[in-house]
Chains A and B, each alone.
Chain A
């Protein structure tokens, strides 16, 4: 069985290699090959899962040592895999949702001449992501970690001819690199502290080192998680990442890659459990981001960016849960899985809408689409009900548990975190209802020609200037696209409930993450009722604003908060002024210094000390022979000096 683990990573890796190096010959079959290998990986995952269920809870983990990777002195990095319940959960999510999205992309990318390459990148992503969750040490995890970053870079910038896509790709990679600094430093700290960075020994011996060291490692891991999972303060790349094709947004920037930070923290539970200060930092980041993302999600008119804000916010919930320790790990992962289903479904739905609407992303240009796209409407609707936590659907079970655990973290902290999580649930209901109403209900705003507006540069100027406007013909997407949406909708509806039967999911993960029941100051029933109340409030408010009244085709100016939220709460503006402009000035100043001061000083010394100026001029006029003379002179000096020394 162990040997299958490598195959799990190997299948998509081979796919990537073949598709990217294969050339034009594979243009007509490449997407089938890519999809097939993703499905192969999923089937292997299922086989391993069945095998794992056949063993007792405590000895389910499999290990496979492939080869010694970097052996230098005490530094021993291996290419070795570990498949335990936590990794298994991810494997099934990644390959399952991954396969569906491969199938979806066959239709979605049908008219793209570079479809083969797209599938190559998707396969590369799967391989890297599987490596990330299967590695048995932090350095190999790092390889997967940056590998998914590379795949993300390539896929965000897939339409490279668009400058905005290229810029967004670069930004994502750079912001992630800042997080990677954290991961590097964490690994270095582990090495100097434990002499190793393999999961087993490090996590096993975590309690033997000081709390200060664990806090330092924990904070560095948190920095890494912030980069990859788009958490404040490293969240700015995720909105721009929506420049990528929509299947990419669904797979990488919603269901899998962006949740890697949650995996990292959960995996490193033993470190965080011994570092309460680091845990506090984690929950603060989670709580701030869940509100931040939700507020941004309320203000965006671009359907994908609204969903991106939502992703940020939902991952905030997961990070918050992971920061709570053993009372939260299992729920963080459970929400991660259910979110994987419904958010991937929502993105695929958004992609389907865009597919039928000539790639329009502005929700103010949508409206009343439920009649034209019934399957998309129903699957999107189920995803919507799941994410807002409608009782009985997936999101209800997983999010409710997190809110409960947040209250249970105790004292004032518990009230603050619980309150934030509860408030977030209300805002989630608001912005998702807004998306739903603006897209599928109300007036068919796309029938009228767009009116130019300075705030809306996305409006096509060509159509206006000609004075003619052909409205799009919204239509349902092909089966290859709707089938994945239907399957994901099933997950959105039932996964949470299934996981919660007899706390099945919690018991499944317990051997890896440990589990404690939290003691909430509020009863479970009280938390659930409160959640349902804020949910209804959010829905009602959204209906008042976007359901009862017609949606203006041009965004109103809005309050200061709305305007700030449209600009991602001014974070980009801050980055631009401080980092981009400041950086430009710094590099320019250095360039000047290099020219005049450093080079000048060296030239000056050379000229004054050696009296070399004369020779310099002669060399420049072409008397290179003088160099030979100089060599000869040098040798003569050497011989003479040696003779002298011997005499001494």
Chain B
């Protein structure tokens, strides 16, 4: 029995959460460093997982762990990763240290508030972030549907407290009013996701019923169900499969979020601190799109294909609607939130295009969107902290007084609009080409999104950073060392993955091929066979690289 790497990757932040929470009230700084240390240890483990993972190996999952848990109901503690899981675990583990560093002083203001002595905000903030990390990592690892469901739901609790308890206090004269706004955003987040979760719960039970009925013993094991389906031992009625699919999909679409279930996101991101907003959109929401790819498609392939046209249209609406609303926003953070809705539209479109470019692109998109949004949002957070306002109109001419801040903000923005040379371009183009090759009309309409993205990013940059220096902006300090440590690696990564995305594609491709084979979909063939076959040359090179 080898070392349970996957359990460790989740256990380390979980232990970190408990340890951080236990630090005495007076030792606030120690709590911060402890949390950072645990998040870095998690990152180290994630890197070990990535290195140990063998993209060429047979079988869908690696580093598997399997233990009986609630034997009576067929619930097992079953973990395993495919390339998609590895990529997303790496993303999560990578972003959390930056989230912690960026939010280093976010609880300080609360510490000065002496009204509630029992409450230790600093410890609370960082413990909750680590708790979310642990649960997100577990949901990327769980291959047992029930196990996944538990973490999928449980992460709502720490998220709720993070949104409601540590909100953005920028530009609020009236403390009670801002507290009310925060709390209502947190409740909205919770209720939306709870509603999704409850419907999914019903579907989870339904799935168990079906397996119990047909296989004799009920199971939640993804692999077992997929294999039983392939072997013909398990056949779902068309109606049953569709109902169960919808139950799962609804929960994931709320979390992703997909239009029209998106309305919780702008509030939640607007009212939270910038680092927590990053945690929501770059990490937690990815569980939704990840789960579509892993559970919806693999458990219910026929129903997935049946629902594809409707989902593609909803995704297309998300892309355009999110982008248009981003243009209309007056609040920097809400603008980024609507931009994210647009980006999630791309991800979902890529998943349901059911081509290797679409799904590979969607997976890359999840990673790249995480990094680019983190870069943009965290710099926006630094900006907002300096001026004490989230309103775009309160800024102007920042470029003149804080050129480094403005420069990093621009790079984050350019990544958001998918400038070629930066990582998001690779994924966005793959999604577009993957969609286009099967659904040309949808692919063409989606390209309008690239114009709208340029519009909301450049308008934001122009209004905040250029023009005459506003009086309130005068004397604004440029990025400090801690803030540079947060931003510089993210930018370096955006550049690296834009120029050389192969480390990612090589681990993601086999997982995507597996998913497509479960769904039984092949890439459309080109109309003209080109004699000088460049694809073979490409795969030869791949083979060489693998050796």
Contact = CB atoms under 8 A, between A and B. Distances in A.
Contacts of A139: 429
Contacts of A208: 528
A67 B500 CA distance: 9
B302 interface: no
A163 B466 contact: yes
A226 B329 CA distance: 31
A184 B440 CA distance: 12
B376 to A, nearest CB: 16
Interface stretch (B25-33, B367-375, B418-426): B418-426
**Secondary structure of the B side of the interface?**
helix
B182 to A, nearest CB: 11
Given A68-B502, A72-B356, A73-B509, A193 B420 contact: no
Most buried by A among B361, B466, B502: B466
Interface stretch (A312-320, A489-497, A561-569, A582-590): A582-590
A191 B535 CA distance: 12
Interface in A137-192: 139, 142-143, 145-147, 150, 153, 157, 160-163, 165-167, 170, 173-174, 177-178, 180-181, 184-185, 187-188, 191-192
A382 to B, nearest CB: 38
A69 B500 contact: yes
A73 B357 contact: yes
Interface stretch (B232-240, B243-251, B446-454): B446-454
A68 B538 contact: yes
Interface in B388-411: 397, 399-400, 407
B111 interface: no
Most buried by B among A78, A178, A202, A599: A599
B410 to A, nearest CB: 9
Contacts of B459: 170
A57 B345 CA distance: 51
Contacts of A594: 263, 321, 325
Given A188-B443, A191-B433, A204-B532, A160 B467 contact: yes
Contact of A157 (B205, B420, B466, B539): B466
B204 interface: yes
A188 B191 contact: no
Nearest to B501: A70
Nearest to B495: A17
A76 B462 contact: no
A358 interface: no
Contact of B328 (A71, A180, A195, A591): A591
A610 interface: yes
A interface, size bucket:
35 or more
Contacts of B532: 200-201, 204
A522 interface: no
B263 A602 contact: yes
Interface string B186-210: 0100111011011001001100110
B184 to A, nearest CB: 7
B59 interface: no
Interface string A471-497: 000000000000000000000000000
Most buried by B among A75, A180, A599, A628: A75
A612 B73 CA distance: 30
A69 B357 CA distance: 14
A616 interface: yes
A193 B218 CA distance: 47
Given A71-B505, A590-B321, A620-B183, A181 B447 contact: yes
A587 B325 contact: yes
Contacts of A167: 462
A160 B421 contact: no
Given A188-B437, A198-B534, A606-B195, A72 B505 contact: yes
Contacts of A20: 407
A52 to B, nearest CB: 23
B261 A602 contact: yes
A545 interface: no
Contact of B184 (A157, A177, A620): A620
B450 A180 contact: yes
A264 B208 CA distance: 58
A601 B260 contact: yes
Interface stretch (B41-49, B80-88, B118-126, B519-527): B519-527
Nearest to A167: B462
Nearest to A143: B420
A74 B434 CA distance: 10
B327 interface: yes
B324 A627 contact: no
B230 to A, nearest CB: 22
A634 interface: yes
B344 interface: no
A598 B263 CA distance: 8
B469 interface: yes
Interface in A33-87: 67-76, 78-79
A234 to B, nearest CB: 12
Contact of A201 (B160, B194, B534): B534
Interface string B36-67: 00000000000000000000000000000000
26 contacts: A70-B502, A71-B509, A73-B355, A73-B356, A73-B509, A157-B466, A161-B397, A165-B466, A166-B467, A177-B454, A181-B448, A184-B447, A192-B524, A192-B526, A194-B526, A195-B535, A202-B530, A591-B328, A602-B192, A602-B261, A606-B192, A612-B195, A619-B190, A620-B187, A642-B73, A648-B212
Given A74-B357, A193-B526, A645-B208, 15 more contacts: A69-B501, A72-B356, A72-B512, A75-B433, A157-B466, A160-B466, A177-B451, A192-B526, A195-B530, A201-B531, A588-B328, A598-B263, A606-B192, A619-B191, A634-B201
Interface of B: 72-73, 153-154, 157, 160-161, 183-184, 187, 190-192, 194-195, 197-198, 201, 204-205, 208-209, 212-213, 218, 259-263, 321, 324-325, 327-328, 355-357, 360-361, 397, 399-400, 407, 414, 419-421, 425-426, 429-430, 432-433, 436-437, 440, 443-444, 447-448, 450-451, 454-455, 458-459, 462, 465-469, 499-502, 505-506, 509, 512-513, 523-532, 534-535, 537-539, 541-542, 545
